[in-house]
Structures are given as structure tokens and as C-alpha cells.
Chain A
Amino acid sequence: AIQMTQSPSSLSASVGDRVTITCRASQGIRNDLGWYQQKPGKAPKVLIYATSTLQSGVPSRFSGSGSGTDFTLTISSLQPEDFATYYCLQDYDYPLTFGQGTKVDIK
């Protein structure tokens, strides 16, 4: 199975900060990577798929980049509603695998 390693596992940031989360695949996955946001007690929601395609309705402060094995989710200016846990997901090969998550909380 492809292993997805996210970093950091948690971070503290302030409103307005630029935040970067990375995800590394144990083998190449082309651009088959998505990013999901989960708030406590809620189901996850998709932010970005195919590495860099913003899901409809998602604010443009979210962006994704990368290819092959290394991928990045960037929040350009953190907003209060962005404090949540973020997961990457590779859908290049079965079994699909998530990263372990990155919790973003308030500094």
C-alpha cells in the first residue's frame, strides 16, 4: 500500500498567517491527491482534488501544488473558520490511503 506521510502533525497559527501542510507519498502518485478539511464532530469536506483543482465553493485562499511524491496545501491567509484538521488522500492506487492528519489550531 502507498504510505502518505503528512507534516506537521499539528501546528499553531494566528489569523492572517500563511500556512503550509505537506504530504509525501511512498511512491509516485502522479497528481492523484486530494485535500480534505474536518472540523470537530463533522464529516470531512473536500477542498482540493487532482493536486490543485479547487472544489466549487471553496475559498481561493486554499491552494494545492506538487506532483509525483511531494504535495503541498497552502492557506494564504488563515481565517477563524480554517481551524480544523486537514487530511491528504491519494487515489492513484488501491487501497486508497489518507495521511495521518494535520491539526491546525489557534496560537
Chain B
Amino acid sequence: EVQVVESGGTLVQPGGSLRLSCAASGFTFSDYYMDWVRQAPGKGLEWLGRVRNKPNSYTTEYAASVIGRFTISRDDSQRSLFLQMNSLKSEDTAVYYCIRVSGQKHSRAFDIWGQGTMVTVSS
């Protein structure tokens, strides 16, 4: 079965750090771009960032709201995606989704989503 499974969400204090992981299975992880999206309670979806694959030098893109605080990385040997979150704020409280991005430019889809992992930033 093609799937991605997030882990690592928990309660963390403001100013703290947290690392989320996403384990992929059922597909050739190294072939794909991977993204993170979050959803605050009762709110809409917010794209956070992307890491490209090896042929594209593992380059990254980020939303303005997380630049300098969040870092996306991947380990193709472990079929894993990571989201390192630093300097966490209450407004980072959300469900965080790991996503496989399929297709090519002008024909891409977020076709595989994880179930999400909840991060709560509170004292």
C-alpha cells in the first residue's frame, strides 16, 4: 500500500523546538518531491514547504511564515521526510500533514496525504 505516516506531534512550550517525521512506504520515495501542509484547529490549509528529489539537488522552498524557523529535509535511504521546527509560537498549533507530490511542472498533484500529526504549542 502506498502511504505516508507522520509522527512526532506533541505538546511543546512556546519558543521550543520539535522535529516531525514522515515514513513513506509502497513507492519509490527518492523519486518524489515531498511537501508539508498544516491546518490550525477549525481553519483552512496552509502550505509550509517542499523538498525536491536528488536529481533536483534536494532544494527546498518555504512559506514566508516559516522561513528561518522551519527546515525540511529528507533521508532517501530511510524513506523518510522531516520537518524541524524551531522558535515555536502558539500560532504554529496545528495538524501537520506530510504529502507526496506527483507529476511534473504544470501537472502536479498532492496525491498521497498522511493522516496528520497534531502539534500544540502552549505553556
CB–CB B108/A91 < 8 A: yes
B47 touches A46 (CB 8 A): no
Give chain B's interface residue range (CB within 8 Å of chain A).
20 to 34
- Whether A46 contacts B109 by the Cβ 8 Å rule is yes
Do residues A95 and B107 form an inter-chain contact, with CB atoms below 8 A?
Answer: no
Nearest chain A CB to B17 CB, angstrom units: 22
Q: A100 an interface residue at 8 Å Cβ cutoff?
A: yes
Question: Interface extent on A, as a size class?
Answer: 20 to 34
In this complex, which of B44, B115, B116 has the most chain A Cβ atoms within 10 angstroms of its Cβ?
B44
Q: Which of B62-114 contact A (CB under 8 A)?
A: 62-64, 97, 103, 106-111, 113-114
A101 and B44 form a contact (CB under 8 A): yes
Decide: A100 and B44 in contact? CB cutoff 8 A.
yes
Instruction: Please determine whether A43 and B64 come into contact, CB atoms closer than 8 angstroms.
Output: no
- The reply to whether A1 and B108 form a contact with Cβ atoms under 8 Å apart is no
CB pair A89–B110 under 8 Å, yes or no, is yes
| C-alpha spacing A16/B109, complex, angstroms | 28
Q: A98-B44, A98-B46 are in contact. Are A46 and B110 (CB under 8 A)?
A: yes
| B11 located at the interface, meaning its Cβ lies under 8 Å from any Cβ of chain A in the complex | no
- Complex: how many Å from CA A105 to CA B86? 38
Interface string of A37-74 (1 = CB under 8 A from B): 01000011110011001010000000000000000000
Which chain A positions have C-beta within 8 A of B31? none
Contact residues in A for B110 (Cβ distance below 8 Å): 34, 36, 44, 46, 89
Residues from 88 to 107 in A contacting B, C-beta threshold 8 Å = 89, 91, 94-101
Would you call A22 an interface residue if the criterion is a C-beta within 8 Å of the partner chain's C-beta atoms? Answer: no
Given A50-B107, A95-B61: A89 touches B114 (CB 8 Å cut-off): no
A34 and B64 within 8 A (CB):
no
A49 to chain B, nearest CB (A): 4
Q: Are B44 and A87 in contact (CB under 8 A)?
A: yes
Q: Point out the residue from A43, A55, A94, A101 that lies within 8 Å of B97, measured CB to CB.
A: A43
Chain B residues with CB under 8 Å of A32's CB are: 106, 108
Nearest opposing residue in chain A for B108, CB measure: A91
B binding-site residues for A, Cβ under 8 Å: 35, 44-47, 50, 61-64, 97, 103, 106-111, 113-116
